[in-house]
Every structure is written in C-alpha cells, then in structure tokens.
Amino acid sequence: MTTNAMMPFRTKEEQVADFLREGIISGRIPRGSRLKQQEIATLLKTSITPVREALKLLSAEGYVIGDSHRGATVAPFDIEASSEVLNLRILLETQLVRGAVENVTGADIAELTVLAGEFAAAFSAGDNEAARAANYRFHHRMFEIAAMPQTLHFVQILWARYPFDLINRLEGRVSRAADEHDDMLAALIAGDTATAMLATRQHIETGFRELRESVEQG
C-alpha cells in the first residue's frame, strides 16, 4: 500500500456533473427527465455557467441528450446495448480495482468502509434511493484510488449506458450488493488483487444477470 494520497481537485463543472451522474445512476433523476439549468443551479447554489458546461460534458458521455442551452433530457437505455457494455465494464473496472489494491492507503480504506456502511444503512432504513446513491459513491471512490483517470473516464461513459437504476430496484438486489461490496472491500484490505478483481467481476455480472432474468420473466 502507498502511504500518501490526495483527493483529486474538482472544478465546479466537474462537481455539478458528478452530482447529476449520481442522480441519474441512482434513479433519483429518472430516465426521460428534463434537466433545467436554473433549477440545478439554484439547488447547488452555483451559477448557470458550470451547470451548462456540466450538461455539455454529460451529453458527450451519453448521460443526457438534447441541447444544453434549451434543455437536456436524461437518456433512455437499451438492454441489448447494455450486454456489450457489460463486457467492457468488466474489462476496465477490474483493472481499476487492480490499481486500487496497489495504491490504497489506510485513510482510503476508512473512507470506503464509511461509504459501504452508508449503503447498508440506507438499505436497512428502507431508503433505496439513498442506497443507490451511496452505491455510486462507493464505486467511484474505489476507482479514484487507482489513479487511472483516463480509464475511470471511459468507465463513467459506460455507466451512462448501464441500467443501474433498474438493477438496484430488483427485489433483494440492494442487500445482495451490500454483501458483494463487503467481499470487494475485504479483498482490498487484504491486498489480494486476484480476489478483488474476481469479486468485482462477479458483482457486475450478478446484477446484470438478475436484471435480464427479470426482463425475460416479464
């Protein structure tokens, strides 16, 4: 493990974009929703400019569609396209986990433990929206630790095309995901790269398999 790590600096534009990504992935901002710049700026206590720039970034990544000046809409998803995204996620996210194992510090582990606890606590309280948001923060923070910003950027593009909001609404899925997070975190703490990568792969595959089974059953 390394002994010195700093949280990456984020511009206002990046902070707004991350707020919106989390909202879309968690389902707090439903697919098809209209995103109004002034409402977002007021909510986040910022000016229109970083909101407009954030929407341009999210449009490029595939989270939203439409004109950032006249308004943007949260993009729909295609489950067949998600099958291809699944394989790309496994490829890139397991590499990010490898990097996280190599770089993680005690402070990082403490932070990830708190985030995993927030996810489990939100589920226990019956607040599935908060649980989905905590799920996003847990994964994003773990991948930041890898210090592979280009790979994380491509993963965020893939996340835009992935039905997290639907997967995490499946009955019992949040509880199972909490257990899977524990497996990933335990391997990270142990410095066990192979197990951490395997746990990550299984976490991704299990969620998608459960969604496809649910869709097929109607």
pTM of the model: 0.79
- Report the percentage of the chain scoring pLDDT > 70: 92
The whole-angstrom separation of Cα 64 and Cα 57 is 9
User: Strand 34-35 relative to strand 71-74: parallel, antiparallel, unpaired?
Assistant: antiparallel
Give yes or no: residues 175 and 201 share one domain: yes
Classify residue 7: in a domain, yes or no. no
Among 74, 94, 128, residue at a domain's last position: 74
Res. 69 pLDDT band, cuts 50 70 90: low
Give yes or no: residues 104 and 175 share one domain: yes
> What are the respective helix, strand and coil percentages of the chain, to the nearest 5?
70, 5, 25
Domain count, the chain: 2
Amino acid letter, residue 106: G
Give yes or no: residues 37 and 97 share one domain: no
The whole-angstrom separation of Cα 141 and Cα 188 is 13
Among 33, 52, 74, residue at a domain's last position: 74
Looking at every residue in the chain, the average pLDDT score rounds to: 89
Among 35, 59, 74, residue at a domain's last position: 74
Classify residue 4: in a domain, yes or no. no
Res. 6 pLDDT band, cuts 50 70 90: very low
> Count H helices, E strands: the chain?
10, 3
pLDDT greater than 80 at residue 197? yes
